Amino acid sequence: MTSALLRDLDNAHVWHPFCQMREFVADDAPIITSAKGFELIDTDGRRYLDGVSSLWCNVHGHRVPEIDLALREQLDRVSHSTLLGLSNVPSIELAADLVRRAPTGLTRVYYSDDGATAVEVALKLAYQFHRQKPQPESRDLFVGISAAYHGDTVGTVSLGNIDVFHRSYERLLFPTLRVPCPAVTQLPPSFDAASWQQHCLDELERTLAANAGRVAAFVIEPLVQAAAGILVHPTGYLRRVRELTQRHGILLIADEVAVGFGRTGTLFACEQEEVVPDFLCLSKGITGGYLPLAATLTTDAVYEAFLGDAASGRTFFHGHTYTGNPLGCAAALASLKLFETNRVLDNVAECSALLTQRLEEIRDSPNVGQIRQKGILVGIQLVADKATQQTFAPEQRIGHQVTLAARRRGLFTRPLGDVLTIVPAPAMPPELVNRVCDRLFESLLDVLIHRT
């Protein structure tokens, strides 16, 4: 098929996620046919550096020989068989490997397919856990942080708090409590950075204490709220959340769907504050960015509350058809092994330092507001006026304009509103991270100079 025919069929039939289709159809987005290393190649042979690691999934690049081989070998054995009443080899090996690498005490692995389902599983397990523990309690509230994003199923949207994404569904959602985000873009009047952080800690403490007996779990993206625009929590916040939840018997759900697998500098973000959550939700990078797979890790204490005879009603009646898919698990095993073989975390450290240094080049630019970074997760906020922090009108779609300019320069990136993001794959070599910065910064100048 020619590019033109594919374009017509795409526009005629494919409904793209998180895209206003009227605008997407006009955008003439590249149609990817192949990839090599850290580049995507379209139907016209144009190459694009993958600047957001295919939406925060890719870890070692594309067409990685070791992962490709693991998949081919698994294809020769079996592609799928169910975990409902059966086991399969890669899902067992992967569970053991994840437990070995995860914070101590997370010993049980529940598989699903996506980030949202990984969180959804944790929500339901937490809810049911309290009803089935030795001293049963009926706790039916969850606490989340403002500007949270945990996926797009109705349950995870209930915990979410990004107005543009979530407001349409408001009446469909279950009620949740919300504590203020300690890393907001715009401080409310009468606060400075320090007093805002203290206020957030006070509110956290007050909310948990006041609702202690009613809260099933606290849901947090540890260290960085990625979809909110790469909001970086102050050091010690996660630790404090763990102390308070523990004190009140509230379970802690760590959504590491975006931050897991190296992006913040450690394999899991929780490690940096020596926190062991009750649930660790993993997806995106778990297969190296190859296949949809997710895992919710939990403790023996949670697991044991679900034990009983078949008639006890304690069974966890939840499952997804492709749970523990052998191909996905085989890819994940191969990907995890490469973390050591290729010293991926060392590369993350090097690229994090490089990004910090490169970001200085644009810090004083009149249209750059906050620059936020944790590890290799970067958010660059664009503002109409640096002095007043005035934002651009949404209809200007400045973030999107920069993305289009970047595409012409051979870089694929996707903004979060007016926040440009750089989310390289953890194994992207420094020279390519440099090239991502070159192309993005040039695009930024293009669009903003052109405008004035």
CA distance 426 to 213: 41
Positions 271 through 330 that interact with ligand PLP (CB under 6 A): 283-284
**Residues 6+ away with beta carbon under 8 Å from 207:** 143, 177, 179
Q: Tell me whether residue 367 or residue 413 sits nearer to ligand PLP (CB atom).
A: 413
Instruction: Rule CB under 6 A: choose which of 51, 90, 115, 426 binds ligand PLP.
Output: 115
Residue 367 CB, shortest distance to ligand PLP, in Å, is 27
Positions 218 through 257 that interact with ligand PLP (CB under 6 A): 221, 226-227, 255, 257
Residue 1 CB, shortest distance to ligand PLP, in Å, is 28
Binding pattern for the stretch 329-358 against ligand PLP, x by CB under 6 A and - elsewhere: ------------------------------
Reading the block at residue 191, the tokens are: 């606060």
CA distance 145 to 147: 6
Local structure of 337: helix, strand or coil: helix
* 151 sits near ligand PLP (criterion: CB under 6 A): yes
* 116 sits near ligand PLP (criterion: CB under 6 A): yes
47: alpha, beta or left? (left if phi > 0; alpha if psi -120 to 50): beta
Residue 118 CB, shortest distance to ligand PLP, in Å, is 7
CA distance 59 to 283: 12
Binding pattern for the stretch 186-225 against ligand PLP, x by CB under 6 A and - elsewhere: -----------------------------------x----
Residue 258 CB, shortest distance to ligand PLP, in Å, is 3
Q: Is the dihedral of CA 164, 169, 170, 176 positive or negative?
A: negative
CA distance 324 to 111: 5
CA distance 155 to 175: 10
* 150 sits near ligand PLP (criterion: CB under 6 A): yes
Q: What is the dihedral of CA 68, 74, 79, 82, to 10 degrees?
A: -130
Instruction: Rule CB under 6 A: choose which of 39, 114, 120, 278 binds ligand PLP.
Output: 114
| Chain contacts with ligand PLP (rule: CB under 6 A) | 114-116, 119, 149-151, 221, 226-227, 255, 257-258, 283-284
